Amino acid sequence: MENGFNDLENLNVEGKKVLLRVGMDVSVDKDGNILDDSRIVSCIPTLQHLIDRKAKLILMMHIGRPGGQVVENLKTDRVAERLSRFMFRKIDKMDGLTGDTVRERIERMEPGEMVFLDNLRFDPGEESNDDNFTEAMASLGDAYVNECFSVSHRNHSSMVGLPARLPSAAGFCLRKEVEEIGRVVENPERPFVAVLGGVKADKLNALKTLCKKADKILIGGGLSFAFLRLMGIGTGKSKIDSKWLDAGAEEFMKSTLSNEKIVLPSDFVVADEFDAESGRVVGRDSIPEDGFALDIGPETVSRFKDILGTAKTIVWAGPMGVFERKGFENGTRELAGFMANSGAVSIVGGGESASAAEKFNLADRFTHVSTGGGAFLDFLANGSLPAIDALRESALKFGKVI
């Protein structure tokens, strides 16, 4: 059992009801219209494999954070419709998760057929991993498949509860995530260079791990402002996640200021307003008190490229600036293009980094673009995730299913 869990090919699915946890948590607008269907597309090889093997597929997913309440624009109807068009087959969408109507429809399923349940997070039992909810969901199927890396860092019912109750396996996408990120975690080819950016303070544990494992860590975006403040350098009105300034985070970051692995920007592109369309280049000691640093500057881009040019392994998590606006996209675009074409093993964390790779038409040039943002960072920090551990425990409990 590669990776310690069952591969999809080892699971007996012919004529079986398979609960398939998919990672189709798409971005939607206020009316529920799908903005990006790449996560739907990524699941299709696993779906087709199971259909070809005559499984009865019960698809489960979440969208957004409805807080245990039914929210109309977060229903899964549009995802089911889009998937139906991609798969060239009818997919029945159920208005619910358990209940008599859902159960009766599943009992009538034929091999190769698919039904789509509603948003798992409409029931509070999903996020609390409630035993009663998990038992009710498990009773719908004969086996379970996880094809949702993006939520594998959560102790939710559909991620850790179901594999504890049913013979389980990893889908093709999840297996690839584990293999590609796993080789960076376990045995990266050196030099190993990490590029961290963005504003959110969700990278702290990953940063702690990278300080031990990486040869160089290039810091940009809002994360760089937290470091600069600790050095006594003013960052104006530039955005900083306040969690970076918490006592624990601040203490760790102060301890890294003398670490030669950490490389900070030397210049920035600044503007007088956050929503400006263009800016001017200043040294990092010259960010105006009432200004916003919205991208790294050309000197920093050049220096970062010099370091990346030596790398055999690259991990990228977080943009260098407000790449969504043309006047502040240069740092992210230039480094993304350089990393994608470097010849190094290049792994992109999900979230904004993946969006940037797509925007600049570079996604297919990286070794791997993860579907998970938080999951990617947690895997990088911890070497595993709760849902992956649950699959391994399921394999030990139920054995290799033939």
Q: Residue 339 — φ and ψ, nearest 5°?
A: -65, -45
Angle at which helices 374-382 and 204-213 pack, to 10 degrees? Answer: 40
Look at residues 113, 111, 115, 166 and name the one whose alpha carbon lies nearest to residue 137: 166
DSSP 14: T
Q: Say if strands 192-196 and 313-317 run parallel, antiparallel, or are unpaired.
A: parallel
E strand or H helix at 355: helix 352-359
How far apart (Å, rounded) are the C-alpha atoms in residues 317 and 372? Answer: 11
Residue 265: is the preceding peptide bond cis (ω within 30°)?
Answer: no
Confirm whether 351 is a catalytic residue: yes
Answer yes or no: are the C-beta atoms of 55 and 16 closer than 8 Å: yes
DSSP 158: I
Q: Which 3-state string (H, E, C) describes 39-93?
A: HHHHHHHHHHHHHHCCCEEEEECCCCCCCCCCCHHHCCHHHHHHHHHHHCCCCEE
Confirm whether 39 is a catalytic residue: yes
Query: Which entry of 23, 32, 197, 374 is annotated as an active-site residue?
Result: 374
Query: Which entry of 161, 351, 372, 373 is annotated as an active-site residue?
Result: 351
**Hey, is 262 helix, strand or coil?**
strand
Q: How many CA atoms lie within 13 A of 244 on its CB side?
A: 23
Answer yes or no: are the C-beta atoms of 145 and 169 closer than 8 Å: yes
DSSP 160: I
E strand or H helix at 183: helix 172-186
Confirm whether 374 is a catalytic residue: yes
Query: Which entry of 16, 39, 121, 154 is annotated as an active-site residue?
Result: 39
Query: Which entry of 200, 213, 284, 333 is annotated as an active-site residue?
Result: 200
Confirm whether 200 is a catalytic residue: yes
How far apart (Å, rounded) are the C-alpha atoms in residues 54 and 189? Answer: 41
Only one residue has tokens 């263009």, namely: 278
Only one residue has tokens 């409805």, namely: 66
Q: How far is CA 302 from CA 306, 335, 338, in A?
A: 6, 9, 11
Give catalytic residue positions. 39, 200, 351, 374
